Amino acid sequence: MDDFQITVIMPLKNYHLGYLRKAVGSVIGQSSPAWHLVIVAEEGNIKTFRSLLQADLEDSRVEIIPNRGRKLAGAINSGVRYAKTDFVALLLADDMWSKDAIRVLRQYIGRYPKVDFFHSSRVIIDEHDKEISPVYFSRKEFRLDEFKRGSPVKHLLCWRRDKALSVGGLDESLNSVGPDDYDFPWTMAERGATFEAVGECLYFYRNHCDCYRLTTHLPLSVHEREVRRILRKHGVGMWERMRIMAARGKGAVGEQCLYRSSIEKWIKEKLRHDARRGWRQIEYT
């Protein structure tokens, strides 16, 4: 384990500079030095990000590479294919890791050498880094059919690179709704991947509306359509899909969406209406 490293994949497109620097800093500040950070950006944006992250890039363990795939899933796949380590893990560019994330993940990987997919406990933070939710503990056990009603596997996500490549990686046909923490672990589970819950809280998920986010700026209609596509992909029939979508309660799909439909988004943008004015932070319980 002394030489073991984990590749951290950070897809990067839309960004808030302060949050981005905190995300990168949470990796550079790890208590274990056994990491390699691969930032994956659109080719036309790489020069900009090299300038913004110039100081961080002085660390030889930090690299920026171009996205060779499609959308969010393609960026993550680009990082997976580029990685040279047995395990990779995902950090979104406005979130943060705990300072002991790499150390804890390495311990679990060493303790459970046959496991393909690790997932940790997490907590929600606001724009000021304040914790605004209880710790959501990782699920120790779950059944495959539980994915129909939402993913039992949440960030922090860390998986065996070869196993991911053997299932084709993340599905790049999906339009950036759930390809990482919903469809991908579901596919891995269907293909026989073994999972282990990391009890420690390693991931700080930032809920905010300070810049473009897929969670907020993709219309509700897009979220609902993509969830239906994922359900259909995994063999859920039409009537069951309808029941599942109708039964999804508050917070399941699109609660944070600023727009109900693409048409509403187009109209509001034409009228220069700032939809963020109506956004409110969730009260987590």
pLDDT at 255: 75
Q: What confidence tens digit (pLDDT) does each residue in 70-94 have?
A: 999 999 999 999 999 999 999 999 9
What is the pLDDT, as a whole number, of residue 254?
Answer: 64
The secondary structure of 212-247, three-state, reads: CCHHHHCCHHHHHHHHHHHHHHCCCCHHHHHHHHHH
Average pLDDT, 10 consecutive residues per value, the chain (285 residues): 79 94 97 97 95 95 96 97 97 97 96 97 95 96 94 97 97 92 97 97 94 86 92 94 78 72 88 80 82
pLDDT given for residue 252 in this prediction: 53
pLDDT in tens, 112-138: 999 999 999 999 999 999 999 999 999
Cα angle: 209, vertex 212, 217; to 5 degrees: 85
Cis peptide before 144 (omega within 30 of 0): no
Show the tokens assigned to 53.
Answer: 């992250």
Of 23, 25, 32, 39, nearest to 82 by C-alpha is 39
Determine the pLDDT at residue 76. 98
Residue-wise DSSP of 59-112: STTEEEEE--SSHHHHHHHHHHHH--SSEEEE--TT-EE-TTHHHHHHHHHHH-
Give me the pLDDT at residue 253, please.
Answer: 59
User: What domains are defined for the chain?
Assistant: 6-206 (3.90.550.10), 214-278 (no CATH)
N- to C-terminal Cα separation, the chain:
39
Q: Which residues contact 246 (CB under 8 A, 6 or more apart)?
A: none
Q: What pLDDT does residue 3 have? A: 53
